[in-house]
Structure 1
Amino acid sequence: MNTFQFPMKMVKRQVYDRIAVQDQISKTELLQEMDITSSSLNRILDELVREGWISESGQGQSTGGRRPTLYRIDPTHRYILGLEISRVYSVLGLYDLQMNTIASYRWFMDEHMTPERLVDYVEERIDWMLNDYQLTWSQIIGIGIGAVGPLDREKGIILNPVYFPANGWKNVAICQMLNERTGLMAVLENGANTALIGEHWAVRDENMQHMLFVNVGAGIRSAMMSGGQLVRGAVDREGSIGQMIIQTDGERLHDQGNYGALEAFASVQALEQQVRQRMKLGMDIWEAAEDLRPEQVHFDTLITGLNQGNIFLQELFARSAGYMGIGLANIIHILLPEKVILGGALINANPSYYEQAIAVARKKVGYDDSYQPIFSKGVLQERAVAVGAAVMILQQMEL
């Protein structure tokens, strides 16, 4: 009996997934596309309708006989939470089964946002969302988490990430903490991977098989997909691309990592460090920053100055974007993706940074006309990590 039930559960999920991909589909179309008998399909469709996962949505065009019944998923039958935890900001989103955003909260990760405070904050926001949209906890399938690494994914632990403003972000059993507080299933994945999962889901109709995602923020994180599947290494080091050496006699970032590493030139931390060093030397940056101490200069300060047309900051960002382009070209030569998606605080802060980075990358990989990847900021952009975390739960849910 168990041998029979397990394959049928898989087939049931396949039927549901096929209906989910298409807005409306008939039984005839499902039979044509799937290796299943008509009686088995009828049984599965009846079960999915009875349980509320799908519904009949009218009738299709006749091909000579009776007009076929059309089926579509009910996206509001269940809901999923997606949580992004990064060094600069975090995001909590509530999504239906078609990944439409029902509600979303975003907050900065300041020196007060310890793991305990974050869990408090998340629980409060979930309560608000459930009350606002008249939902119950039983309607929530689970919470997917896309977080800064390194991680122990299997145990649901954030290990020892660097550059968090608050203390306490070491060996954080985040899945256990959220499960104990909310009762929800929690699944952890590094944020670069969930962003790529989300972006791949958003372009699922394009049948894109080989994709690279690079997040340029406080550090530099990356994820790769080949054959439609995430590529994983022996350990979880999503930030390893940031340690790519692009200048052998270069500096280290905060006296950590490799000398001349990419993140020492092309990251939020690197830009802040370079401006603070200049200020400590007594050199002027821009008039608005004259009353600031070096330690008071943060990324938002730099963006304000950049948008005001400060020449020094324009040159600083342009040089950083050039280094980013070189780093992209190096990893593209190794992985040869079809599509390269760039995200993160630095990419989204100013259009010129993205444009200059991909211009350099294109030049460095464009020596052979037979290969040129597509560059993009993605479909989901700043929502990618949280949405991808929710997609991860969607892919694992049981019907």
Structure 2
Amino acid sequence: MIDQRSHRLPSPKRMVYFDIAERGTVSKAELLGRFSLSGTSMTRLLEEMTAEGLILASGFGPSSGGRRPILYETNPAFGYFCGLEISRFHSALGLFDMRMNPLSFVRWRMDEKMTPQALADRVAGAVQAALREQGIKQEQVLGFGIGSVGPLDRESGIILQPLHFPAPGWANVPICRLIEERTGFAAQLDNGANTALIGEHWSMRSANPQHMLYVHTGVGLRSAMMSYGQIIYGSVDMEGAIGQMIVQSDGPQLYDGSNFGALEAYVSVQALEKRAQTHAIMGASPLTELFGVQPEQIRYDLLLEALRQEHPYAMELFQQGASFFGIGLANMINMLHPEIVIVGGTLIQSHEMFLRTAIDIARKNTYYHPQYQPVFSEGELKEDAVATGAALMMWKQLELR
């Protein structure tokens, strides 16, 4: 299901503006070649947008025999957008101009004190500080996008029942209302995986990719899919559904209510911690002696330290997880057939071996391989993708009449 919010009938003004935005700098002749408008109508439209401050005349292009053509580009200072990422490990806030250039970026750890109210207060203070620093007036901010872990009620702007937040109170959180009350800006909510994919798609716009898959693996697994440049939405929130993909029918259950043998029981921070703790209890893990801890004290940071030391136990533990992740990727690829597969998250960043193993397994299990070979990428925006995409989500809904 394509999101109907992005499927409104566009006006000529809107289409021309966003074409200029995506291409950078264009001439009237180039625009006439792409739109069914008369020369007079295009001239009037460009003059109107220039007078409003939406676009700028940025100089002259090369002559093809006559007068040199005027070149047009978007005005970065026409307005500004905020993008907020909310995840279990950290949150990030970006302030962007109309060209989606980041003017400010701040991050916070999501510790046991970071309740929804505390985060909203922190965000409001950071927004005001950024506006003062940049000399931007409150009324120049045109929207506030939020990309969050799910599950969500996007239409109501509510974070429903997310797992594994360190702080209490993250159930049924009206996050859009909290942000709007504290900042005064209209806010809109979407899954972080979706906004990350929106951001990465924008960063790759020169290549014009149409079909993209985004998969994030960390505390949980999240995914998003884009077809013909539009995010695909289901009838229910799908962000974490990839984690419940069954990869071994008689496998373990990670937590109550999850599927037995689900992908996240093998590929997630909790899964690796749980497996290492079980091994330690059984006397099959060297980590308790290596770090001087009890089995229940084995946490991801210790596993990561052992991996950085390339300890054989840690290397094998992460390689097994990467192999299952590769199987999960292959299943998604075989169903969705993307051009580009973007992977991110804590486990992807853990060691180059993890990414290499996962991609190798995914390729070997992709149908039609080697004739069909999607491009694998860690993305261009990486850790900034969610917040950037959240701001882009609002920018793309800019009303132009």
Name the TM tier (shorter chain): over 0.9
- Of stretches 35-44 and 310-319 in structure 1, the one that deviates more from structure 2 is 35-44
Match of 1:81 in 2: 82
CA deviation after TM superposition for structure 1 residue 281, in Å: 4.7
Counterpart of 2:329 in structure 1: which amino acid? Answer: L
Q: Secondary structure at the match of 2:240?
A: helix
Cα deviation 1:12-42 (Å, max 9, x = unaligned): 1111112112232122221222111222222
1:398 and 1:286 map into 2 onto residues whose CA distance is 59
Cα deviation 1:50-102 (Å, max 9, x = unaligned): 22111111112222322221111111221111111111211111112222221
Name stretches of at least 5 consecutive residues in structure 1 with no aligned partner. Answer: 1-6
Match of 2:242 in 1: 241
Cα gap change, 1:169 to 1:8, in 2 (>3 Å): closer
CA deviation after TM superposition for structure 1 residue 397, in Å: 1.3
2:388 and 2:30 map into 1 onto residues whose CA distance is 30
Cα gap change, 1:8 to 1:269, in 2 (>3 Å): closer
- Of stretches 293-302 and 24-33 in structure 1, the one that deviates more from structure 2 is 293-302
Counterpart of 2:382 in structure 1: which amino acid? Answer: Q
Q: Secondary structure at the match of 1:235?
A: coil
Match of 1:352 in 2: 353
Match of 1:41 in 2: 42
Counterpart of 2:110 in structure 1: which amino acid? Answer: M
Q: Secondary structure at the match of 1:104?
A: strand
> Where do 1:184-263 residues align within 5 Å?
184-263=185-264
1:376 and 1:67 map into 2 onto residues whose CA distance is 40
Cα deviation 1:127-157 (Å, max 9, x = unaligned): 2211222222112111111111111111111
CA deviation after TM superposition for structure 1 residue 120, in Å: 1.0
Match of 2:273 in 1: 272
Q: Secondary structure at the match of 2:365?
A: helix
1:315 and 1:225 map into 2 onto residues whose CA distance is 34
Match of 1:59 in 2: 60
Cα gap change, 1:286 to 1:366, in 2 (>3 Å): farther
Name stretches of at least 5 consecutive residues in structure 2 with no aligned partner. Answer: 1-7
Select 2:286's aligned residue among 266, 284, 287: 284
Match of 1:103 in 2: 104
Q: Secondary structure at the match of 1:12?
A: helix
CA deviation after TM superposition for structure 1 residue 284, in Å: 3.4
Cα gap change, 1:226 to 1:61, in 2 (>3 Å): same
1:386 and 1:64 map into 2 onto residues whose CA distance is 46
Cα gap change, 1:35 to 1:74, in 2 (>3 Å): same
1:166 and 1:375 map into 2 onto residues whose CA distance is 35
Q: Secondary structure at the match of 1:357?
A: helix
CA deviation after TM superposition for structure 1 residue 288, in Å: 5.5
Match of 2:371 in 1: 370
Match of 2:141 in 1: 140
1:186 and 1:37 map into 2 onto residues whose CA distance is 38
1:351 and 1:200 map into 2 onto residues whose CA distance is 24
1:140 and 1:20 map into 2 onto residues whose CA distance is 18
Match of 1:3 in 2: none
CA deviation after TM superposition for structure 1 residue 234, in Å: 1.2
Matching of residue 319 in structure 1 with residue 311 in structure 2:
no
Match of 1:131 in 2: 132
CA deviation after TM superposition for structure 1 residue 230, in Å: 1.6
1:144/1:187 contact within 8 Å kept: yes
Match of 1:379 in 2: 380
CA deviation after TM superposition for structure 1 residue 168, in Å: 0.8
Counterpart of 2:192 in structure 1: which amino acid? Answer: G
2:98/2:395 contact within 8 Å kept: yes
CA deviation after TM superposition for structure 1 residue 275, in Å: 2.3
- Of stretches 214-223 and 93-102 in structure 1, the one that deviates more from structure 2 is 93-102
1:279/1:294 contact within 8 Å kept: yes
1:95/1:390 contact within 8 Å kept: yes
2:334/2:367 contact within 8 Å kept: no
Cα RMSD of the aligned pairs, angstroms, is 1.9
CA deviation after TM superposition for structure 1 residue 392, in Å: 0.5
1:195/1:388 contact within 8 Å kept: yes
CA deviation after TM superposition for structure 1 residue 8, in Å: 11
1:21 and 1:330 map into 2 onto residues whose CA distance is 33
2:368 and 2:60 map into 1 onto residues whose CA distance is 54
Q: Secondary structure at the match of 2:341?
A: strand
Counterpart of 1:33 in structure 2: which amino acid? Answer: R
1:366/1:372 contact within 8 Å kept: no
Q: Secondary structure at the match of 2:226?
A: strand
